[in-house]
Amino acid sequence: MVAEYTVIITWDSEAAVWYAVCDDIPIALESGSFDALVERVKSATPELLKMNNAESECVLHFVAERRDGVA
């Protein structure tokens, strides 16, 4: 069975970056571009899992949130 992980991606309006976290991998990355961040997470995940003695083949679920105020 292939492991599945949920990566939460959130927009930080003060810093003007997207950041991604997943405690189970563990990973915490940021980028100014949503698509670039997804690629960074996909690239870093196998090595991080291997370092934590976990199977490096997995499925990533990306959940994104962006909140903006409207006046």
Q: Determine, yes or no, domain membership for 70.
A: no
Instruction: Domain count for the chain, please give it.
Output: 1
Closest CA to 67 of 14, 6, 5: 14
Per-residue confidence (pLDDT) for residue 69, from 0 to 100: 83
- Is residue 33 assigned to a domain? yes
* Residue 71 placed within a domain: no
Residue in 24, 1, 21, 23 with CA at minimum distance from that of residue 12:
21
Q: Domain of 30?
A: 3-65
Residue 7 included in any domain: yes
CATH number, domain of 52, equals: 3.30.2390.10
Phi, psi of 65 (to 5 degrees): -140, 130
Tens of pLDDT, residue by residue, the chain (71 residues):
899 999 999 999 999 999 999 999 999 999 999 999 999 999 999 999 999 998 888 999 999 999 888 88
